[in-house]
Structure formats: structure tokens, C-alpha cells
Amino acid sequence: MTWETLLNQYTVLIDRKVKGYFETLKVKAAKYHPFMLKTYENLEEYVLRKGKRLASCSTLLTYKGYAGGVDEKILNVCVGIELYRHCILLHDDLVDGDEIRRGGKSFHNLFSEVRDPKFGEGVAVFMGDVSYVLSLETILNSGFSGEALHRAVELLVESYHEVNESQVIDLLFEHKEPDVEEWYVMASRRAASLFGTTILMGAILAGAPEEDLRVLGDAAADIGYAFDIQDDIIDTFATEQQYGRPPGGDISRGKKPLHLIYALRLAGPNELKIIKGIIGKGRITPNDLETMREAIKKTGALKAAKEESLKHAKKAKELIEQTQMGEESKEFFNSFIDYIAQNLDWYK
């Protein structure tokens, strides 16, 4: 089975659990304030928008790979992981000023329309905070206990620390030109950290051997890097049809994806002038984006970034092979990693 088949299958289970969770939350909220009920209805809709539950499925399949099966406790944890994933997206959309998330309005945008942008932004700040504590609460009340639970909570705390540091550094990158090393300082705290959390959470709660936790931690980082580099390439090179929203957002906001950092390093004087001219512009036109794409290709930066992503993908597969995780789970991760690599082939 490919990762997508597995993902669709488990997404149904997880979504049902998420719905049940919000049902209870909404019944409680309705008793004290109608507006809190409304915010939780909106949060539920935001979390349950059509999409792959990649984060929570990583937890679920790692758990299954060691525990041998799926139970209610790990499904509770999956709810926590989805809440965690979405609290990050919520503050991310807010700070980036993104208006759309997965085919719907971004969270602040939902509430901006209720009153005004100031109100929407305020609600999003506080509801992002709420979503994070909901994820902690869900994991604290998942049914797991003792040392494994303690480590799971520590993981979620450490990960949120790292993810928010990566956000601060990423914001700084809009105002400077980082080198490759500095990009890795940021990226090691972004998708690499997120995959580390979701994968290790499942492994720890299933009682995986310590040696496997170390190997899985490294594998998760490699998956994260491979994914991040690919994800950024998509943002620059996909068509709007492929991407589901207008491409070029990163470039437009002055962010510094790895392929752009490579381009700045590899460019000759003429290309450098073109690239820097576009970076300095703020909001860019479709023409600017096309010029930028050509420059990134011409310098060899796209090729170099793809190779870097593939290097991490290959490493991740080797590491996963070394673990004692069950075959179905190994296949899931291997086929997901292959998908990342295939996606890279779209852009030549």
C-alpha cells in the first residue's frame, strides 16, 4: 500500500476522533459563553478542512509499528497532534498575513470579517495559544501515563519551543541574506522538529527501544529537511493549479528558501543583479516570478536544492530500514519519502 492509501484510511479514523473531541468541547463551551462556542466551531472547521493528516498519521503509524496495533489512547494523541499542527499554522498565517489556508479563510481572516482586522488578529493570537494548550491537555488526558506520558509532554514542549524559534529566525531572513549554515539552524527547528515530534511521540508511547528512538530522531530530521526543501521549491515553481494557491508567496514576502540562498551564492554579476532587484521589490508580479524562476534554474540552484532534498530523503530511508519498526509503517514512510522525491521531478 502506498502512503496515500494508508493516509486516507487512517485520516478517516483520526477525523472521527477529532469530531468527537470537539463535540465535548463545544458542549462545555456552550454552557459558559456563546462566543467561545463559536470560536471552537471555527477551530474545528479549520482543523478538519480537507487535507492529509500527515502529522498525526506519522504518530499513528510509528506507534502501530512498535505496538502492533491502533488503540483509543493513540487516537487521542493524534487529536493532540492535529491541534498542535494547527496552532502552528494559525499563528503562521497571522504573522505572514495569509488570507487562505487549505481552501478556506485563514483563522484571523474568519474573525476579521465578523468585526474588523484588529478583532480577527486578536482572536487569532489568543486562539493559537488555546489550540496549543488543547493539544497539551489532549495528550495529558490521552490515557497514557507514567514516564512515557511525561516524555511525550516534554517532546511537545521542546518542539513548540523550537518551531517558534524557527519562526523568529525565518522572519529575520526577510531582512537579510542567510548562508546555507544559517538556513539549517532555522530549518532544524521547523519541519525537521515537527516530524521529530510526531514520529518520536508514537515511538515513545509504544515503548520503542532507546536505540530506535535515536535512529528515528535522525530519520525524522532528514525527512523534515527533504520535505522543507521540496515544499519551498513548490512554493516558487508550482502553477496555481498544482499548488492550490498563488505561487511565489515566499519570494514575494522576502523569505529565503534554500534554492534562493543557493542562487545568490552561485549567480554571476548579471543574474545577481536580476535576483536582488526582484527580492528588494516587496510584492512581485507574475513576470517577476517567471524571471526569478529562470535565474534560479540558470544558476544551477534549483538542481542543487533538489539534490540536497534527495540526499536527505535517501538518508532517511536508510535510517528507517535500520529500525525494528513494523513493515507496514516502514513502507508508509518509504513511500512518503518517494513521493517527496517524485514531486521534485515536476520542476525542471
Rounded to the nearest 10 degrees, what angle do helices 54-67 and 191-205 cross at?
30
State yes or no: residue 104 binds its own copies (CB under 8 A).
Answer: no
Kindly tell me which residue out of 4, 72, 113, 158 binds its own copies, with binding defined by CB under 8 A.
158
Q: Which residue number, 158 or 328, has a Cβ lying nearer to its own copies?
A: 158
Confirm or reject binding of residue 317 to its own copies (CB under 8 A): no
* Interaction between residue 150 and its own copies (CB under 8 A): yes
Q: How far is the CB of 130 from its own copies (least distance, A)?
A: 5
266 belongs to the binding site for its own copies (CB under 8 A): no
Query: Rounded CA gap, 186 and 258, in Å?
Result: 11
Give the shortest CB-175-to-its own copies separation in angstroms.
6
Q: In the window 166-205, what residues touch its own copies (CB under 8 A)?
A: 167-169, 171-172, 174-175, 182, 185
Phi, psi of 104 (to 5 degrees): -125, 180
Residue 45 as a binder of its own copies (CB under 8 A): the answer is no
Among 23, 72, 113, 137, binds its own copies (CB under 8 A): 137
33 near its own copies, rule: CB under 8 A: yes
165 part of the interface to its own copies, by CB under 8 A: yes
How many residues touch its own copies (CB under 8 A)? 45
Considering just the CA atoms, what is the radius of gyration of the chain in Å? 20
On the 0-12 / 13-18 / 19+ scale of CB atoms within 10 A, 181 is exposed
Which neighbouring-strand residues pair with 105? 100
89-95 long-range contacts, CB within 8 A, separation 24+ = 90/46, 90/124, 90/127, 90/128, 90/131, 91/124, 91/125, 91/128, 91/167, 92/167, 93/124, 94/121, 94/124, 94/125, 94/128, 95/167, 95/171
Q: Give least dist CB 86 to its own copies, A.
A: 14
Residue closer to its own copies, measured from CB, 121 or 218: 121
Cα–Cα distance for residue pair 274/191, rounded to 1 Å: 30
Question: Residue 221: exposed, middle, or buried by beta-carbon count in 10 A (0-12, 13-18, 19+)?
Answer: buried
- With contacts defined by CB under 8 A, name the span among 43-51, 74-82, 155-163, 315-323 that binds its own copies: 155-163
Fill in the DSSP letter of residue 244: S
Among the listed residues 161, 273, 276, 281, the single contact to its own copies using CB under 8 A: 161
Please report whether residue 99 would count as binding its own copies according to CB under 8 A: no
How much of the chain is helix, strand and coil, in % rounded to 5? Answer: 80, 0, 20
Closest CB 218 distance from its own copies, rounded Å: 18
305 lines the binding site for its own copies (CB under 8 A): no
Cell match 507574475: residue? 286
Scanning 34-42, 238-246, 265-273, 320-328 for contacts with its own copies by CB under 8 A, the matching segment is 34-42
> How many whole angstroms separate alpha carbon 80 and alpha carbon 85?
9
**Residue/partner pairs of 289-294 with CB below 8 Å, 24 or more apart:** 289/236, 289/247, 289/248, 289/251, 292/236, 292/248, 292/251, 293/236, 293/237
Residue placing its CB nearer to its own copies in the complex, 154 or 240: 154
Query: Does residue number 48 form part of the binding site for its own copies (CB under 8 A)?
Result: no
Site for its own copies, rule CB under 8 A = 32-33, 35-36, 39, 91, 94-95, 97, 115, 118-119, 121-123, 125-130, 132-134, 136-137, 140, 150, 153-154, 157-158, 160-161, 164-165, 167-169, 171-172, 174-175, 182, 185
